[in-house]
Amino acid sequence: MIFLNGQFMPIEKASISVLDRGFIFGDGVYEVIPVYSRRPFRLDKHLHRLQHSLDGIRLKNPYTTEQWSDLIGQVVDKNAGDDQSIYLHITRGVAKRDHPFPDVPPTVFMMSNPLLPPLPESLEKGVAAITASDNRWIRCDIKSISLLPNVLLRQIAVDAGAAETILIRDGFLTEGSASNIFVVKDQVLLAPPKSHLMLPGITYDVLLELVAENHVIHEVREISEDELFSAEEIMLTSSTREIMAVTRLNEQSVGTGSPGAMFRQLHQFYQQYKATHMRGGLTC
């Protein structure tokens, strides 16, 4: 069951106009919200990021925080599975094809997909990544549905048999094509700072909170291309993949070629955080 413009229906019954600006221009934003034990994870943070994206494209939020929470809860309830991934999509609506903003209602769409945990083999052995030049636009902090650059960059990884493409702009790490990236250098955890050149990840925030609480030495600063290639460990984070170790970069081993001690520690912190909040019955 999906939600489309105020109604719940089977996905097979859903349709939108070919004049929807999301279809014509890619004029819209989206969010992906993980759900554990039928409870949305860090819903307030996801909705805050959604508001940031809407503000970035000058589109009024169609619902209040309370209304979003209720609608998302209904989507979760109407779909099977304790763990789900809620996809939320808002476009500027249906109008004659013309660039200026029309005065029309937005299109609002939500659906649920199964949220599958990372494969045990990926956690045990890590995954491969490649690097590429970050040739996207400069408002990467907006979670735009215009994802063609990300699609092309991710396909480079798929073609190479890798799990992710790590992006470099002007000699510095920005993020992955669909993830945030952490690096361990000289036993210090490094994270690139939030800016308009990267999406502020929810899992990125959780990891930084956890390392601060557990007194892990870390720095949030620009990470050079040389530091990336000489890193002892590299990790990627996202709402659907949680935290994973990158053990090969451009066909070369990262560190020992196996997930390192920092990854093991952070993965444990993250799983404990999830379990604690699920046991407490909280909407994280």
Compute φ and ψ for 102, nearest 5 degrees. Answer: -90, 160
Q: State the Cα–Cα distance between residues 241 and 34, nearest whole angstrom.
A: 10
Nearest partner of 87 among 50, 137, 53, 133, judged by Cα: 50
Residues with a known catalytic role: 143
Nearest partner of 180 among 169, 170, 193, judged by Cα: 193
Distances (CA, A) of 88 to 110, 156, 220: 5, 26, 30
Nearest partner of 95 among 192, 193, 18, 41, judged by Cα: 18
- Counting Cβ atoms within 10 Å, is residue 97 exposed (0-12), middle (13-18) or buried (19+)? exposed
- Please answer whether residues 197 and 140 qualify as being in contact, where contact means their C-beta atoms are separated by less than 8 angstroms: yes
- Please answer whether residues 241 and 230 qualify as being in contact, where contact means their C-beta atoms are separated by less than 8 angstroms: no
Q: State the Cα–Cα distance between residues 279 and 179, nearest whole angstrom.
A: 27
- Counting Cβ atoms within 10 Å, is residue 116 exposed (0-12), middle (13-18) or buried (19+)? exposed
CA 45, chain centre distance (Å) = 12
